[in-house]
Amino acid sequence: MPPEEREQTLGRLEASGLRGRGGASFEVHRKWRAVMAEDGVPFVVANGGEGEPGSIKDRFIMRTRTKDVLEGLKIAIDTLGAERGYVYLKGSFAEEEKRFSEAILTLGLSSLVSLHRGDDTYVGGEETALLESIEGRVAWPRPKPPRPSAVGLFGRPTLVQNVDTLARVPEAIRAGADFALRDTLTVTLWGDVRRPGACQVPVGRTLRSVIEQEGGGAVGTIGMVFPNGAQSMPLSAAQLDVALHPTSLGALGSGLGTASILVLDEATTPHSMVESIARFFERESCGQCPPCALGTVNLRQLVTGDRPPTIRLTPQAAMREAASFMAIHGYCSHGRAGASAVTKLFALWQDEVMGHLRGERGPAGARDRDPFAPGSSERQALEAFLQGI
């Protein structure tokens, strides 16, 4: 692609305001320019390694907009002057691999794009872990710096871009400054909703209208809603008129991230949700960094009562101690995210958690839940949705 055409593409991406949809919300044109500023012929990787429990938005995009993802990947390869592109998938994503294989043939991209299926771990979708996997090693995150934009796949500058983001690139370039008017958000709705699944909604819709119109409404009376799965603070039923936007949700102390919207009824016990989230962070630590490997175990043991508080420390102080240890160092953000999520939830529901640890019984009809567990009924409902598309 001639230099002036590349600059035109980047200019239209900048005008569109397109940001990444993998959770970090980084401006796309800046990410592309950062790779182009490095020496060496780059690679481009489409990240389809979605592993967050309760998020199927990327798999939904890969199944319903396969060609848009590949078109966006091709534009990135051409604009960056990359040698080739890769589509990275979880090991169990056989259906997505099949659809990409067919679309690659149809679009004549066989010589330019390769498919790679890694493992099924959560951290395997982290941007440097997937590079390790493509290079033939275990999908564990790398220490940073250097960032992949400087030293990525096979030591070359590499753009790693989420598949949901890439699917929007062609439209963003066509629409330029008008893109924001027609942009949508891909969300996952799960838990106590009548129609669990994934869908695209106009940016700025309220959480309440998405639950009612796209999810068919709640099953039972809503008790709490996590707008970003295990990584967000829950909202109460009275807070659902907030727009699905990072700034609006941030003002309520929550977040949007990958928009994995977990709806739970009022019978759900808060202590079981703290445990479910603590178990998720413990289970998915890859174990490379002691603060994360040990800290996630400590936090889970503190909230489940498997680690009695010491004479010296109250449970609250022990929790703070474990979290501050986890903030020290990590090759990826998993340990820090776990410390933040578990300690904030513990602070929010301290009375309920401590009451449960003392053996107090909850109100009549109260129900313990573990939606983030592999094979939970809530996650099975999402898998059933995917079977239908």
Sites of contact with ligand SF4 (CB under 6 A): 123, 141, 285-289, 292-293, 330-332, 334-335
Q: Tell me the closest approach of the beta carbon of residue 299 to ligand SF4, in angstroms.
A: 13
Strands of the 43-48 sheet, one edge to the other: 113-117, 85-89, 43-48, 158-162
Q: Tell me the closest approach of the beta carbon of residue 214 to ligand SF4, in angstroms.
A: 32
- The CA distance from 174 to 165, in Å, is 15
- The CA distance from 369 to 375, in Å, is 13
Q: Tell me the closest approach of the beta carbon of residue 327 to ligand SF4, in angstroms.
A: 11
Longest dimension (CA), the chain: 70
Instruction: Extract the tokens encoding 290.
Output: 């002691």
The alpha helices in the chain, defined as continuous H runs, are 3-16, 28-36, 57-64, 66-80, 94-106, 129-134, 163-175, 179-182, 207-209, 246-251, 270-284, 290-304, 315-326, 334-348, 350-357, 377-387
Q: Which is nearer to ligand SF4, 54 or 335 (CB)?
A: 335
Q: State CA 206 to chain mean position distance.
A: 20
Q: Which is nearer to ligand SF4, 54 or 330 (CB)?
A: 330
Q: Tell me the closest approach of the beta carbon of residue 329 to ligand SF4, in angstroms.
A: 8
CA distances from 384 to 109, 162, 335, 347 (A): 31, 24, 31, 35
Closest CA to 284 of 354, 218, 345, 230: 230
Q: Tell me the closest approach of the beta carbon of residue 305 to ligand SF4, in angstroms.
A: 24
Q: Tell me the closest approach of the beta carbon of residue 339 to ligand SF4, in angstroms.
A: 10
Q: State CA 371 to chain mean position distance.
A: 16
- The CA distance from 351 to 29, in Å, is 46
Q: Which is nearer to ligand SF4, 190 or 281 (CB)?
A: 281
Q: Do 283 and 251 contact (CB within 8 A), yes or no?
A: no
Q: Do 158 and 152 contact (CB within 8 A), yes or no?
A: yes
Q: Which is nearer to ligand SF4, 123 or 277 (CB)?
A: 123
Q: Which is nearer to ligand SF4, 32 or 88 (CB)?
A: 88
Q: Which is nearer to ligand SF4, 179 or 331 (CB)?
A: 331
Q: Which is nearer to ligand SF4, 128 or 268 (CB)?
A: 128
Q: Tell me the closest approach of the beta carbon of residue 328 to ligand SF4, in angstroms.
A: 10
Q: Tell me the closest approach of the beta carbon of residue 330 to ligand SF4, in angstroms.
A: 3
Q: Tell me the closest approach of the beta carbon of residue 309 to ligand SF4, in angstroms.
A: 24
**β-pair partners for 204:** none
CA distances from 189 to 73, 225, 280, 314 (A): 27, 10, 19, 37
Q: State CA 349 to chain mean position distance.
A: 24
Q: Which is nearer to ligand SF4, 287 or 308 (CB)?
A: 287
Q: Which is nearer to ligand SF4, 175 or 286 (CB)?
A: 286
Q: Which is nearer to ligand SF4, 297 or 366 (CB)?
A: 297
Closest CA to 75 of 66, 60, 65, 85: 85
Q: Tell me the closest approach of the beta carbon of residue 127 to ligand SF4, in angstroms.
A: 12
Phi-psi sector, 225: left (phi>0), alpha (psi -120 to 50), beta = beta
Closest CA to 44 of 53, 34, 55: 34
